[in-house]
Amino acid sequence: MGDRSAFFYVLYRVCYGSSTPTPFQRSLLTIRPAILHDYCRHKVRGYDYPAIIPSPEDCVRGTYVRGLTDGDIFRLDIFEGPEYERRKVKIRVLDVEGNEDGEGNVEGEEVEMETYVWVGGENALEEGEWDFGEFRREKMHRWIGRREEYDGESVKRRHAWIKANSL
């Protein structure tokens, strides 16, 4: 079992190559809902996925994952690409998970861990906050569906756009 931890959204597809890991693979990780304060998330222009950037007074709900290996972090680094930077942050684990708007959240322990922060330029981000509910309803199947449904095309397009625009 690894001793690394991270705060993010996409997990099993990147770390294990499947959105349905084996029970053994699931047993290696501890996954809990969490809040990252003083950040907000925006949709990356032209893509399904978000980017987080520092933003006082805002917060991002995500997932706190313990038990990641150095190999898992390596795969996440590759997946996120050069427009994200892995940084140490402090999150609050949720003892009680409220609704999508955060109403009813009960924050617990503060934990230092790593997350991927957007460094690809704010001009590549859309105005307003990325909507996880919309993503879950309309786009998530592209990211966690069966292997044959996911070919990484959105990620390839993202890296090509970044290279073409010298971000």
Q: Which residues are catalytic?
A: 80
Question: How far is the C-alpha of 37 from the C-alpha of 119, rounded, in Å?
Answer: 18
3-state secondary structure of 13: helix
Question: How far is the C-alpha of 118 from the C-alpha of 84, rounded, in Å?
Answer: 4
Question: How far is the C-alpha of 62 from the C-alpha of 32, rounded, in Å?
Answer: 9
Structure tokens at 106: 């009960």
3-state secondary structure of 10: coil
Place of tokens 């795969």: 75
In which element (H, E) is residue 162 found?
helix 153-164
Beta bridge partners of 41: 52
Question: How far is the C-alpha of 30 from the C-alpha of 5, rounded, in Å?
Answer: 9
